[in-house]
């Protein structure tokens, strides 16, 4: 049995793990899926003061409140920076870090540093639609361009449309400050690149490039099956599931 803490991506909430958590629990694992402050069901708490540090503390608070140890801490997209910060504050509680199409930051970086073109677009949206500090969810695109977060089919599409909420700009611009870098580096890291659609592939390729630039990621073939073989050869275990490329970093 393992203990998983699943941290959602930007504009989402714990609801985005509703199809994943039951599968892990059915396999005998413990699963926790916190909602970050100001998002999802806590959208009523949204304020300009909420930043990256707030979201990091959300995760650390859960680990401490429930005295969780040997945790597999999973972050998706934006939350790659969140789980890195949480691991820095509580490295003795973390068994491994898993980045699903997620940013893999260095000390002192914010999402603005990792993706300057992205943050410029987010600032424009905040200035236009969010009083300069609220970033509305990304706009839906035609299905052939990836729909909404790569989701193009019902009923999932309508569900996501109804649940995503605005996010404070400060969560994307506040830098990560680490004090236990060596301890975090000693924690096993895994990067998972999803291959579920054109939109996801484009985002994953960009984010994996970010991971590579940190010096943590090992190069892997772009063919998914060969990438899975690469992980199996290095870890002695096959990559779980299909449609995923997994590389230990």
Assigned domain for 215 exists: yes
Q: Per-residue confidence at 147, pLDDT binned at 50, 70, 90?
A: confident
Q: Is the pTM of this model over 0.85?
A: no
Average pLDDT over residues 69-97: 97
Q: Per-residue confidence at 184, pLDDT binned at 50, 70, 90?
A: very high
The residues with which 248 forms a beta bridge, in sequence order, are: 190
Range of the domain at 202: 3-110+175-248
Assigned domain for 155 exists: no
Assigned domain for 151 exists: no
The residues with which 75 forms a beta bridge, in sequence order, are: 7, 99
pLDDT of residue 217: 45
The answer, yes or no, to whether residue 156 has pLDDT greater than 80, is yes
Q: What's the number of CA atoms in the CB half-sphere (13 Å) around residue 41? A: 6
pLDDT of residue 200: 46
Assigned domain for 8 exists: yes
Comparing 96-100, 178-182, 190-194, the range with the smallest average pLDDT is 190-194
Assigned domain for 125 exists: no
pLDDT of residue 143: 87
Comparing 55-59, 76-80, 89-93, 94-98, the range with the smallest average pLDDT is 76-80
Assigned domain for 87 exists: yes
Structure tokens at 2: 């393992």
Q: What percent of the chain has pLDDT over 90?
A: 63
> Tokens 């973390």 belong to which residue?
94
Q: Mean pLDDT: which of 1-5, 151-155, 200-204, 243-247 is highest? A: 1-5
pLDDT of residue 117: 81
In whole angstroms, give the CA distance from residue 226 to residue 206. Answer: 19
Structure tokens at 50: 């909420």
Structure tokens at 152: 């193009």
Assigned domain for 146 exists: no
Whether 77 is catalytic: yes
The answer, yes or no, to whether residue 201 has pLDDT greater than 70, is no
Number of folded domains that form the chain? 1
Q: Per-residue confidence at 196, pLDDT binned at 50, 70, 90?
A: low
Structure tokens at 131: 């009083």
Q: Which of the residues 77, 79, 110, 212 is marked catalytic?
A: 77
The answer, yes or no, to whether residue 94 has pLDDT greater than 90, is yes
Assigned domain for 196 exists: yes
pLDDT of residue 241: 32
The residues with which 221 forms a beta bridge, in sequence order, are: none
Q: DSSP secondary-structure letter at 137?
A: P
pLDDT tens per residue across span 24-67: 999 999 999 999 999 999 999 999 999 999 999 999 999 999 99
Average pLDDT over residues 143-164: 89
Average pLDDT over residues 64-93: 97
The answer, yes or no, to whether residue 87 has pLDDT greater than 80, is yes
Task: Give the domain CATH number at 103.
Answer: 3.40.50
């Amino acid at each position: 049995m393992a203990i998983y803490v699943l941290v959602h991506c930007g504009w989402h909430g714990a609801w985005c793990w509703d199809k994943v958590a039951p599968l892990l629990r059915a396999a005998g694992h413990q699963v926790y899926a916190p909602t970050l402050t100001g998002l999802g069901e806590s959208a009523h708490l949204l304020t300009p003061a909420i930043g990256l540090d707030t979201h990091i503390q959300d995760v650390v608070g859960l680990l401490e409140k429930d005295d969780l140890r040997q945790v597999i801490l999973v972050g998706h997209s934006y939350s790659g920076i969140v789980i890195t910060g949480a691991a820095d504050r509580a490295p003795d509680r973390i068994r491994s870090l898993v980045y699903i199409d997620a940013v893999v930051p260095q000390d002192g970086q914010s999402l603005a540093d990792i993706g300057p073109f992205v943050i410029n677009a987010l600032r424009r949206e905040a200035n236009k639609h969010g009083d300069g500090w609220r970033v509305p969810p990304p706009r839906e695109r035609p299905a052939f361009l990836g729909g909404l977060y790569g989701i193009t089919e019902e009923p999932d599409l309508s569900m996501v449309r109804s649940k995503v909420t605005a996010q404070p700009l400060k969560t994307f611009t506040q830098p990560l400050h680490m004090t236990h870098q060596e301890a975090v580096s000693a924690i096993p890291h895994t990067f998972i690149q999803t291959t579920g659609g054109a939109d996801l592939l484009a985002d994953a390729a960009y984010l994996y490039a970010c991971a590579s630039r940190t010096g943590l990621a090992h190069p892997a073939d772009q063919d998914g099956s060969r990438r899975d073989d690469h992980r199996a050869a290095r870890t002695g275990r096959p990559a779980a599931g299909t449609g995923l490329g997994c590389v230990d970093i």
